Amino acid sequence: MNRRKKSIQIVKSRIKKAKAKLATNSKPKYISKAERAKLAEAADQETSTDTES
């Protein structure tokens, strides 16, 4: 691999990494099983208070 090709490859890889870092994440943030249980319990309590009043 000649010197010019190697330098171009390095620059392209840096650009690719920068674009990947700036790209928005399509994946939702991870919520643990315990946290999901707490949220579900809070939602159940909220709905039960709404139906009682």
What pLDDT shows up at residue 46? 84
Query: What tokens were used for 22?
Result: 């700036």
Percent with pLDDT over 70 in the chain: 92
**pLDDT 10s digits, 7-34:** 999 999 999 999 998 987 788 889 999 9
**pLDDT 10s digits, 29-52:** 899 999 999 999 999 888 887 666
What's the whole-number average pLDDT of the chain? 89
What pLDDT shows up at residue 50? 66
All structural domains of the chain with their residue ranges: 29-53
Q: What is the pTM of this model?
A: 0.45
